[in-house]
């Protein structure tokens, strides 16, 4: 029998999932939470700070007496702040501890970190068992990264069986549709359009719509959406990367966006690809000379 008690964290969780991180933080003072709900609330708030780039705040505020879920979130902040080796070493140690190794937030953080490392097989070791909607959604992302849309679809179907209307299920559906392409692109666009009508318009939603538009050849519309996203966060990596691609297609200079991306996110995959191409070109020129 389903519980009739209200989901006190629905709004906070939803804001986080659609990328409304400051709104999640600002509206996190939810009364009458159980201990487990308070831990989830704090976890979402700290993850929102991480998404906004405030790694040090999380590192400073989460002490050694905090619950495992918050320690895991702190580990993600340590990793993203640049101290990768230390974070991965601690992660490996915690995952090997029988008492805490199966904590769903720790497994989620493991999946996120190993996905950043592009070690997808290692990520799946910790996420593949699922257990939460976030873990299932992360599995969809990992399988898409591995170009295994067949496995991504299986994870998506599991999410749909649990809650077809869940924000993460809808997001995962949009990711899957973008990965499959073709006629599915329009379906992905409609999901993001529905989000923009129901919720606060965020950079994540605008980027989703813009990528759909680019796939459909509507680059002028995509550029308008991306510039709106840039007004919300001038340092957002995906907005800058998508503007680079979009600008090239509409015949405009992408150098300013590329320079900004290189300055703020030097490890972004687009920057790495550009650097690699430049190195290859320089070597080719030298060999001719």
Listed range (157-161, 182-186, 217-221, 242-246) with the worst mean pLDDT = 242-246
How confident is residue 50, by pLDDT bands cut at 50, 70 and 90? very high
Separation CA 132–CA 136 (nearest Å)? 6
Backbone φ and ψ for 203, nearest 5 degrees, come out as -60, -35
State how far the Cα of 166 lies from the Cα of 239, in Å rounded to an integer.
25
Mean pLDDT to the nearest integer, 25-47? 93
pLDDT of residue 1 exceeding 50, the answer is no
Q: In sequence order, what DSSP letters do the residues of the chain get, joined into one string?
A: ----S--TTHHHHHHHHTT-HHHHHHT---SS--HHHHHHHHHHHHHHHHHTT-HHHHHHH--TTS-HHHHHHHHHHHHHTT-HHHHHHHHHHHHT-TTTTT-HHHHHHHHHHHHHTT-HHHHHHHHTT--SHHHHHHHHHHHHHTT-HHHHHHHHHHHHHHHTT-HHHHHHHHHHHHHH-TTHHHHHHHHHHHHHHHS---HHHHHHHHHHHHHTT-HHHHHHHHHHHHHH-TT-HHHHHHHHHHHHHTT---HHHHHHHHHH-TT-HHHHHHHHHHHHHHHHHHHH-
Question: Is 14 within 8 Å of 23 (Cβ atoms)?
Answer: no
Per residue in 178-193, is it b (16+ CB within 10 Å) or e — as a string?
Answer: bbbeeebbeebbebbe
pLDDT at 61: 95
Q: What is the reported pTM?
A: 0.87
Residue 198 has φ and ψ, to the nearest 5°, of -90, -35
Q: Do the Cβ atoms of 83 and 55 come closer than 8 Å?
A: no
Q: Is the pLDDT of residue 272 over 80?
A: no
Label residues 73-98 b or e (16+ Cβ within 10 Å = b).
bbbbbbbbeebeeebbebbeebbeee
* Buried/exposed 261-282: b ≥16 CB within 10 Å, e otherwise: beeebeebebbeeeeeeeeeee
In the structure, what pLDDT confidence band is assigned to residue 139 with cuts at 50, 70 and 90? very high
- The yes-or-no verdict on residue 278 having pLDDT over 60 is no
Quick one: average pLDDT of 99-118?
93
Whole-number pLDDT of residue 8: 87
Cα–Cα distance between 171 and 177 in angstroms, integer? 10
């Amino acid at each position: 029998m389903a519980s009739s008690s209200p989901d006190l964290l629905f709004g906070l969780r939803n804001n986080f999932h659609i990328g409304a991180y400051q709104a999640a933080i600002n509206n996190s003072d939810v009364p009458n939470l159980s201990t487990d709900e308070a831990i989830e609330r704090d976890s979402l708030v700290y993850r929102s700070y991480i998404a906004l780039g405030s790694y040090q705040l999380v590192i400073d505020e989460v002490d050694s007496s905090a619950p495992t879920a918050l320690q895991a979130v702190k580990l993600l902040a340590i990793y993203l702040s640049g101290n990768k080796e230390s974070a991965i070493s601690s992660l490996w140690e915690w995952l090997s501890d029988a008492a805490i190794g199966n904590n769903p937030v720790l497994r989620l953080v493991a999946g996120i970190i190993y996905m950043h490392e592009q070690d997808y097989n290692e990520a799946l070791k910790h996420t593949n068992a699922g257990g939460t909607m976030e873990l299932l959604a992360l599995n969809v992302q990992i399988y898409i990264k591995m170009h295994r849309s067949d496995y991504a679809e299986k994870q998506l179907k599991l999410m749909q069986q649990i809650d077809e209307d869940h924000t993460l299920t809808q997001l995962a559906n949009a990711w899957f549709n973008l990965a499959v392409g073709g006629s599915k692109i329009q379906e992905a666009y409609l999901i993001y359009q529905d989000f923009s009508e129901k919720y606060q318009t965020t950079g994540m939603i605008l980027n989703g719509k813009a990528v759909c538009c680019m796939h459909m050849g509507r680059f002028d519309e995509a550029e308008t959406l991306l510039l709106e996203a840039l007004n919300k966060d001038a340092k957002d990596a995906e907005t800058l990367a998508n503007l680079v691609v979009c600008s090239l297609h509409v015949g405009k200079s992408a150098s300013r966006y590329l320079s900004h991306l290189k300055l703020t996110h030097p490890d972004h995959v687009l920057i790495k690809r550009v650097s690699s191409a430049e190195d290859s070109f320089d070597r080719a020129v030298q060999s001719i000379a």
